[in-house]
Amino acid sequence: ARAQGRDDLGAEADDALSQRRQRLLAFERALHRALERQEFYLAYQPQMDVATGRIVGCEALIRWRSTEWGEVSPAEFVPLLEESGAIIDVGAWVLASAAQQAAAWERAGLPLRVGINLSPRQFLAPSLMEHIQSALQSSGVSPGCIELEITESLTMQDVDHSIRLLQRCRDAGVMVAIDDFGVGHSSLAYALQFPIDAIKIDRAFVTHITRGRADRAIVRAVVALGQSLGVEIIAEGVENQRQCDFLEAIGVTQVQGYLIGRPMLPDQLEALARSYRREV
């Protein structure tokens, strides 16, 4: 009887597992049809220049509105796209759409810099330059309006190769930023070697900046490094005025976060950029 009970429990666990697996499979199937079904769209989060108090740029962030699963967070699906390699095609779509949007703003007399996230796999794919060139050419945007965001962890792996790739991006006229700086394989020494235009300080440091001494010291060091390299320092995840004031006081040049605005649709971003004045 005891052995029987164990088998029942085992069978139940198997059922639960197979149900979870079925769900995941269905999710992945929906995800891999999302591109052709045109279920992806981009939201844009504003970035404010601290010196002028104006919106000077934004970051394109992918969104998935699934017919079956509703609005799904990129934290849930970007890693799956990365794993399967589908991020290369989806990433090419992101590059093309964000470049189109940047070109439209430029034509409308609003030359915003648009940040575009590149995943590790996309960065290392042989098709990367082709996708960048094609996004630039078909949109007609000034390459200087595009800033590619690359996470530090992947640029670490093969330093010489990464430097060559980043240099090719910059030769194409686009800007390059290190994203999520300070988390993962962070090392100031590595960052010094890369040909970059901007460093984006991760939200994790900004969150505790008005309280934690260690985070404050790290951000100060990154800002000092950025100043000596002549690169832009963008702080992510700025949610309140105290954080913003502190970041400004230590020399951060641009801020992005809910304080300035959440990721929003292009028309809203345009309206905000045209009307925005920093509160004093």
Question: Which residue matches tokens 């589908």?
Answer: 86
Distance of CA 196 to the CA centre of its chain: 16
Query: How far is CA 218 from each of CA 72, 85, 120, rounded to the nearest angstrom?
Result: 33, 35, 25
Closer CB to Mg ion, 44 or 105, in the complex: 44
H or E element at residue 245: helix 241-250
User: Contact region for ligand C2E (CB under 6 A) — 99-107, 134-142, 222-230, 236-244?
Assistant: 236-244
Contacts of residue 2, defined as CB under 8 A and 6 or more positions apart, other chains included, come to none
What span, in angstroms and rounded, lies between the C-alpha atoms of 153 and 182?
10
Phi, psi (degrees; rounded to nearest 5) at 40: -85, 145
Contact mark string toward ligand C2E, 3..32, x via CB under 6 A:
------------------------------
Question: Is residue 180 a contact residue for Mg ion (CB under 5 A)?
Answer: yes
Angle (nearest 5°) at CA 67 between 65 and 68: 110
Closer CB to ligand C2E, 74 or 251, in the complex: 74
Question: Is residue 75 a contact residue for ligand C2E (CB under 6 A)?
Answer: yes
Site for ligand C2E in 165-184 (CB under 6 A): 179-180
Which of 74, 195, 251, 266 lies at the binding interface for ligand C2E (CB under 6 A)? Answer: 74
Q: What does the binding site for Mg ion look like in residue numbers (CB under 5 A)?
A: 117, 149, 179-180, 236
Q: What does the binding site for ligand C2E look like in residue numbers (CB under 6 A)?
A: 45, 61-62, 73-75, 78, 87, 91, 94, 117, 119, 149, 179-180, 203, 236-239, 257-258, 263
